[in-house]
Amino acid sequence: MAGATQAALDADIRLRVGKSLLRFNTCGSVDDGKSTLIGRLLYESKALYDDQLAALEADSKRVGTRPGELDFALLLDGLSAEREQGITIDVAYRFFSTARRNFIVADTPGHEQYTRNMVTGASTADLSVILVDARKGVLTQTRRHSYLVSLLGIRHVVLVVNKMDLVDFSEATFRAVEEEYRKFAAELGLPAVTCIPISAVRGDNVVVRSAATSWYAGPTLMGLLDGVEVVEARLGDQPLRLPVQWVNRPNHDFRGFAGTIVGGRVRKGDAIRVQPSGRMSRVARIVTAGGDLDEATTGQSITLTLEDEIDVSRGDLIVTANAPADVAHQFEATVVWMNESPMLRGRSYLMKIGTKTVTATVSPLKHKINVNTLAKVAGSKLELNEIGVCQLELDRPIAFDPYEVNRDTGGFILIDRLSNDTVGAGMLRFALRRAQNVHWQALDVNKPARAVLKGQKPCVLWYTGLSGAGKSTIANLVDKKLHSTSRHTYLLDGDNVRHGLNKDLGFTDADRVENIRRIAEVAKLMVDAGLIVSTAFISPFRAERQMARALLGPGEFIEVFIDTPLTVAEQRDPKGLYKKARRGDLKNFTGIDSPYEAPQNPELRIDTTSLSPEDAAELIVAHLQQRGFLTPGTS
Amino acid sequence: MTLTHLQRLEAESIQIMREVVAETENPVMLYSIGKDSSVMLHIARKAFYPAVPPFPLLHVDTTWKFREMYAMRTRMAAESGMQLIVHVNPEALAQGINPFTHGSAVHTDIWKTQGLKQALDKHGFDAAFGGARRDEEKSRAKERVFSFRNAQHRWDPKNQRPELWRLYNTRKHKGESIRVFPLSNWTELDVWQYIYLENIPIVPLYYSQERPIVVRDGALIMVDDERMPLRPGEKPEMRKVRFRTLGCYPLTGAVESAADTLPEIIQEMIVARTSEREGRVIDFDAPSSMEQKKQEGYF
């Protein structure tokens, strides 16, 4: 071919590859005609080849539902099991393009038991197309799908009122459906809704404006898809979010941090912060195989090198230094359950968020959501396809943004540890305990350094047991023994702390929880300072002891259960408190009118009915010795 | 600055590859020497730059590939600096399995499906990248990016894990393995445009050229070596053809074409009226044949 022609072809390719990408999903009830609509879009945008058309014609004759016509739905129902059932049972991805744009469509099924597939398809969509049958209007399924769309943060919704041919293209019918839907969409807070009257079977208002709907002045479906703004730009203007996916270390001279930018942009020389550690540095290079870049933006997969040699590993989040993400380990989240085994309170799951996998424990469900009425419903567990708001407690803090700010730093999946299944998907809403605006400042003299100086490994001996069980007595003995062998220790005693730090707290359940939270935080600081800390509090609730355990590093929390039966403790009654409680002069007394949740797997159990305080103290010191806390080293 | 369609696809593929390397123990890249494999290899080299991709290439050889494909295989292994593992099913070799006497179904099953399983088991690979795209074929359109296979390498289409956002659950039981498809969201046109923009080397068979051809069962088959028995009346004649897809030469139909440059191939693609898998004989064996092959462990 002549050079001029090659140049023209080249120019044509350059024009084509400059197109943007829009991802959308479709949802609707069974028989609303989703597959037919997508088949129609593929057909009309000339995305089908002759052999695909030939196969479609053959399939239409063989199993088609409309004799003598092309059954576009057959293009999409890929798996043979589904063809026989005549329904779509999974997510199918389809591709087509127009002169302006390329499209990826996730076709998501309508019937109830596969809500998880719809959520899957919608999770990557920029826009959702929701179908209703003009004869049936807004159904329960329509509400469910719209709610899921709003939950997943999709900003553009197109309501396709399909099968207009079956209602004689009646404007009144269309307007009634539109009005009802807009009312519901407003309740959900869906920001942009467009309603289009369509007949997917005939093609009215799909690509070409229909003569049968002269009363309709809005866009055709294809016209809308072509013109709607993609939301990518919004994320590009936010602060940098780069989850570190892989550390690239081909040799001693190169240490790069590879990842996909999920928010903002990054330039050479930018000041960055690594979360959750809080360490700071500057971007030295943005490395790609095609040469270093000066700048990279949301959506690009890049490799960064930093000016300083700081500790960065997979799961960390690199962010703009002065606009960091929040760091927390307790959250309120909305969870969509996707597994036959229900989500249970107190159960722990693996949680994958960005490139990090942590352990998440589900605190009691705050409420479930009735997706038809949006009403909050009480419940203790989430069944397949149910949605609920719950608290999650992680085994360590993570950096995050609320889901509505950023899908990638706020969206997570839950994985069952035994089956390895993806059992839930969720969206972080906000951190609990007001940890949002405080960022951990990395200090140069750190825990290991201080511990080395003291010739010990820091830890917490967390004594728990009934009032009068002997916690303070034994803790005091242990502390004396450690001190006499030159260990650096501190004993946090229940009564002493209530004289100062916690003197504003009473003995209600809520105050007890806060009491323990403060103690745990103080103990954590003391461990950070390199001390062997003892805490002697009743600490009656399992959840709070678990919280204290989660605050500390692996192995640093040693739960010592001072196991004394209530009758024995009550007999001892060293402070006369049981007598007062029995008389009713003391409310909320543990063991009497407030519960004590005994530890299930304590590191140490001390039976005070068979062991003297002195022997108990010996046993505890021996345990510390055995586990290496009394010898120098880094913990 | 909004990324283009191809930039987004490339970034997604890189993210998928890095995730596999970060979360699996012994990954491998299936390298079939075709255009999709060429794109996949190219993206892998970009994903791990300046390191060499930290996994080997595996070619499950049937001994019936085009000669030009073998030349390209040697060249790319050298250029990439990656280890190339070539697996030839010893049983197929011993039995002399070939498409002419055994038919395409048996040939494909024993050389490719069984050969692939043997190779994965032999080296203990727990994740294997494949170049399949969702636009290729109906049952592919529903497959996940991370597709789990049990210890017998079987695929269960009813029991796939949901994939949300960019989050992939890579956890697996002992004996299970993952097939990973980083090009899931690419179309054939995307692949060609990317090859053009990135100047990726491809087997010359994709370009039109005079080649010795016989017409057999409606397909244009290239007589690539002397092993191909000619039927009565068949006489190779030189025709200007190219290939849209490459496999075993006796099973891969050519198309008549004058396109001998990439822009012309792309132009031809845009006006093309036939999808690429039509050139592959295996898809026509029976309805749902690809789905069935996949359940049995075909890539």
Q: Which domain holds residue B246?
A: 199-284
If asked whether residues B32 and B155 sit together in one domain, one would say yes
Q: What is the pLDDT of residues A274-308, one digit of tens each?
A: 999 999 999 999 999 989 999 999 999 999 999 99
If asked whether residues A150 and A284 sit together in one domain, one would say no
> Does the pLDDT of residue B294 top 70, yes or no?
no
A258 Cβ contact list (under 8 Å, min separation 6): A244, A245, A246, A247, A248, A301, A302, A303, B18, B47, B48
If asked whether residues B52 and B160 sit together in one domain, one would say yes
Whether the Cβ atoms of residue A228 and residue A257 lie closer than 8 Å to each other: no
- Mind telling me how many Å the CA of B241 is from chain A's nearest CA? 16
If asked whether residues B32 and B74 sit together in one domain, one would say yes
Final residue of a domain: which of A320, A346, A361?
A320
**Cβ pair B22:A117 closer than 8 A:** no
Identify the weakest region by mean pLDDT among A41-55, A306-320, A519-533, A595-609: A41-55
> How many whole angstroms from its chain centre is CA B91?
23
Q: What is the pLDDT of residues A604-625, one digit of tens each?
A: 999 999 999 999 999 999 999 9
**Cβ pair A17:B273 closer than 8 A:** no
CA distance A26 to A596: 52
If asked whether residues A371 and A331 sit together in one domain, one would say yes
Q: Is residue B295 part of a domain?
A: no
If asked whether residues B213 and B88 sit together in one domain, one would say no
Looking at residue A256, which CATH number applies to its domain?
A: 2.40.30.10
- Token pair, residue A66, equals 């409309």
**Cβ pair B158:A81 closer than 8 A:** yes
**Cβ pair B8:A92 closer than 8 A:** no
CA distance A87 to A617: 69
If asked whether residues A88 and A34 sit together in one domain, one would say yes
Q: What 8-state DSSP symbol labels residue A138?
A: S
**Cβ pair B278:A51 closer than 8 A:** yes
If asked whether residues B137 and B225 sit together in one domain, one would say no
A131 Cβ contact list (under 8 Å, min separation 6): A26, A27, A28, A29, A32, A33, A34, A37, A160, A162
CA distance A75 to A66: 14
**Cβ pair B158:A116 closer than 8 A:** no
**Omega before residue B27 within 30° of 0, cis:** no
Give whole-number Cα distances, A24 to A27, A489, B89, B133, in Å: 10, 60, 43, 18
- Mind telling me how many Å the CA of A300 is from chain B's nearest CA? 5
Final residue of a domain: which of A213, A230, A247?
A230
| Chain A residues inside the 8 Å CB shell of B170 | none
For residue A550, how many other CB atoms are within 10 A of its CB? 18
Final residue of a domain: which of B131, B158, B189?
B189
B297 or A75, greater pLDDT: A75
Q: Does A554 touch chain B (CB under 8 A)?
A: no
Strand (E) positions, A288-375?
295-297, 301-306, 317-320, 326-337, 343-344, 348-353, 356-369
**In terms of CA atoms, which chain A residue is nearest residue B140?**
A78
> For chain A, what is the total number of helices (H) and then of strands (E)?
19, 29
| Chain A residues inside the 8 Å CB shell of B79 | none
**Cβ pair B173:A420 closer than 8 A:** yes
Q: Taking the model in full, what pTM does it have? A: 0.74
> Does the pLDDT of residue B139 top 70, yes or no?
no
β-bridge pairing B237-242 and B253-256: antiparallel
Q: Which DSSP string do the residues of chain B spell out, in sequence order?
A: -PPPHHHHHHHHHHHHHHHHHHH-SSEEEE--SSHHHHHHHHHHHHHHTTSPPSS-EEEEE-S-B-HHHHHHHHHHHHHHT--EEEEE-HHHHHHT--HHHHHHHHHIIIIIIIHHHHHHHHHT-SEEE----TTSSGGGGG--SEEEE-TT--B-TTSPPP-BTTB------TT-EEEE-TTTT--HHHHHHHHHHHT----GGGS-EEEEEEEETTEEEE--STTSPPPTT---EEEEEE-SS-SBGGGBEEEE----SHHHHHHHHHH--S-GGGGBGGGGSSTTHHHHHHHHT--
Q: Is residue A82 part of a domain?
A: yes
What are the phi and psi torsion angles at A107 (to 5°)?
Answer: -90, 115
Q: Which residue do the tokens 């954590």 mark?
A: A524
Q: Is residue A305 part of a domain?
A: yes
Dihedral in degrees, nearest 10, Cα atoms A308, A312, A318, A323 = -70
Residue B197 banded pLDDT, cuts 50, 70, 90: very high
Q: Is residue B293 part of a domain?
A: no
Q: Does A415 touch chain B (CB under 8 A)?
A: yes
If asked whether residues B90 and B55 sit together in one domain, one would say yes
Q: Which of B2, B184, B274 sits opposite A230 (nearest CB)?
A: B2
Q: Which residues of A86-99 are buried (b: 16+ CB within 10 A; e: fewer)?
A: ebbbbbbbbbbbbe
CA distance B263 to A5: 10
> Does the pLDDT of residue B89 top 80, yes or no?
yes
Q: Is residue A632 part of a domain?
A: no
Among B208, B202, B238, smallest CA distance to B71 is for: B202
| Chain A residues inside the 8 Å CB shell of B193 | 13, 16-17
**Cβ pair A20:B142 closer than 8 A:** no
The verdict on whether A281 is a catalytic residue reads no
Q: Is residue B97 part of a domain?
A: yes
Tell me how many degrees the CA angle A538-A543-A548 measures, rounded to the nearest 5: 75
Q: What is the pLDDT of residues A62-79, one digit of tens each?
A: 766 666 677 776 666 554
Looking at residue B159, which CATH number applies to its domain?
A: 3.40.50.620
Q: What is the pLDDT of residues A374-405, one digit of tens each?
A: 888 888 788 888 899 998 989 889 999 999 88
If asked whether residues B180 and B211 sit together in one domain, one would say no
> How many domains would you assign to chain A?
4
> How many domains would you assign to chain B?
2
If asked whether residues A294 and A405 sit together in one domain, one would say no
CA distance B164 to A336: 12
Final residue of a domain: which of A279, A303, A320?
A320
If asked whether residues B164 and B33 sit together in one domain, one would say yes
If asked whether residues B180 and B207 sit together in one domain, one would say no
Whether the Cβ atoms of residue A278 and residue A399 lie closer than 8 Å to each other: no
Q: Is residue B259 part of a domain?
A: yes
Q: What is the pLDDT of residues B2-18, one digit of tens each?
A: 788 899 999 999 999 99
If asked whether residues A63 and A130 sit together in one domain, one would say yes
If asked whether residues A306 and A403 sit together in one domain, one would say no
What are the phi and psi torsion angles at A26 (to 5°)?
Answer: -120, 140
Give me the residues of A, 260-279, that contact B with CB < 8 A.
Answer: 260, 262, 265
Q: Is residue A311 part of a domain?
A: yes
pLDDT at B175 (0 to 100): 84
pLDDT at B200 (0 to 100): 95
If asked whether residues B130 and B262 sit together in one domain, one would say no
- Mind telling me how many Å the CA of A426 is from chain B's nearest CA? 10
Looking at residue A111, which CATH number applies to its domain?
A: 3.40.50.300
Optimal mutation site among A16, A17, A60, A404, interface B, most CBs of chain B within 10 A: A17
**Cβ pair B157:A245 closer than 8 A:** no
**Cβ pair A258:B267 closer than 8 A:** no
3-class DSSP assignment, residue A235: helix
- Mind telling me how many Å the CA of B209 is from chain A's nearest CA? 14
> How many whole angstroms from its chain centre is CA A274?
20
> Does the pLDDT of residue B147 top 70, yes or no?
yes
Q: What is the pLDDT of residues A226-285, one digit of tens each?
A: 888 776 667 888 999 999 999 999 998 999 999 999 999 999 999 999 999 999 999 999
Residues of chain A above pLDDT 70, percent: 90
If asked whether residues A219 and A279 sit together in one domain, one would say no
| Chain A residues inside the 8 Å CB shell of B177 | none
Q: Which of B47, B267, B274 sits opposite A50 (nearest CB)?
A: B274
Q: Is residue A1 part of a domain?
A: no
Final residue of a domain: which of B189, B222, B239?
B189
Q: Is residue A66 part of a domain?
A: yes
If asked whether residues A192 and A245 sit together in one domain, one would say no
Q: Is residue B289 part of a domain?
A: no
- Token pair, residue B131, equals 């170049």
Whether the Cβ atoms of residue A527 and residue A558 lie closer than 8 Å to each other: no
pLDDT at B285 (0 to 100): 43
Average pLDDT of chain A, as a whole number: 86
Give me the residues of A, 73-112, that contact B with CB < 8 A.
Answer: 75-81, 90-95, 102, 104
Q: How many contacts (CB atoms, under 8 Å) link A and B?
A: 187
Q: Is residue A254 part of a domain?
A: yes
**Cβ pair B273:A20 closer than 8 A:** no
pLDDT at B245 (0 to 100): 87
3-class DSSP assignment, residue A333: strand
If asked whether residues A93 and A52 sit together in one domain, one would say yes
If asked whether residues B132 and B213 sit together in one domain, one would say no
Final residue of a domain: which of B189, B215, B233?
B189
Q: Which of B1, B5, B11 sits opposite A301 (nearest CB)?
A: B11
- Mind telling me how many Å the CA of A88 is from chain B's nearest CA? 11
Q: Which domain holds residue A278?
A: 235-320
| Chain B residues inside the 8 Å CB shell of A236 | 1-2
If asked whether residues B110 and B230 sit together in one domain, one would say no
If asked whether residues A219 and A245 sit together in one domain, one would say no
